[in-house]
Amino acid sequence: MQSFRTGIGYDLHRLASGRRLLLGGVEIPHDHGLIGHSDADVVLHAVCDALLGAAGLPDIGDLFPDSDPAWKDADSRQLTGRVLTRVSDAGFAPVNVDVIIHAEAPKLGPHKARIRASLASLLRLNEEAVGVKAKTNEGIGEIGTGQAIACWAAALIRRA
């Protein structure tokens, strides 16, 4: 059996006024936030799917369906904790994660360090095992015109 496995994750949520903007478990000051059944933290959702995919487990849409009232306004930090438990129960532990946040606004440069620290804490990793990058969409498309924020994540896990 292989000792190391990789996974990828992706998520996108629409932006709307009157919502908090949560990225990687960190609240970012902005005049818009992400809409979703849960708190719509695209970064944690992408990271969770990367970890679940690496472990060969069902994705977060299967584990926490938006048709289930139990997950309404769910704190994605708690969902991440549940995902870690599933990954651990499957015999794996995270090694590192790397994410790309795709947002036109707000500018995420000043927030990347906090997001990185939050991800490291949630995943029980050293910060050097967490990468956080931010990109704009050069003003084009749904992301570039500020209608949505997306995130890609890659994860490596090892057999514990």
> What backbone torsions phi and psi does residue 64 show, to the nearest 5 degrees?
-130, 65
Residues in 21-50 that interact with Mg ion by CB under 5 A: 45
Task: In angstroms, give the least distance from the CB of 11 to Mg ion.
Answer: 4
Which of 105, 120, 110 lies closest to 47 in space, CA to CA? 120
Q: Closest approach of Cβ 128 to Mg ion, in Å?
A: 27
Among 5, 7, 9, 11, binds Mg ion (CB under 5 A): 11
Nearer to Mg ion, 13 or 30 (CB): 13
Q: In this structure, what token pair is assigned to residue 124?
A: 């029980």
Listed ranges 8-16, 78-86, 94-102, 118-126: which one lies at the site for Mg ion (CB under 5 A)? 8-16
For residues 97 and 123, the answer to whether their CB atoms sit within 8 Å is yes
Using rule CB under 5 A, residue 112 touches Mg ion: no
* Residue 96: CA count within 13 A, CB half-sphere: 7
Tell whether residue 111 is a contact of Mg ion (CB under 5 A). no
Give the DSSP letter of residue 28. E
Binding site for Mg ion (CB under 5 A): 11, 45
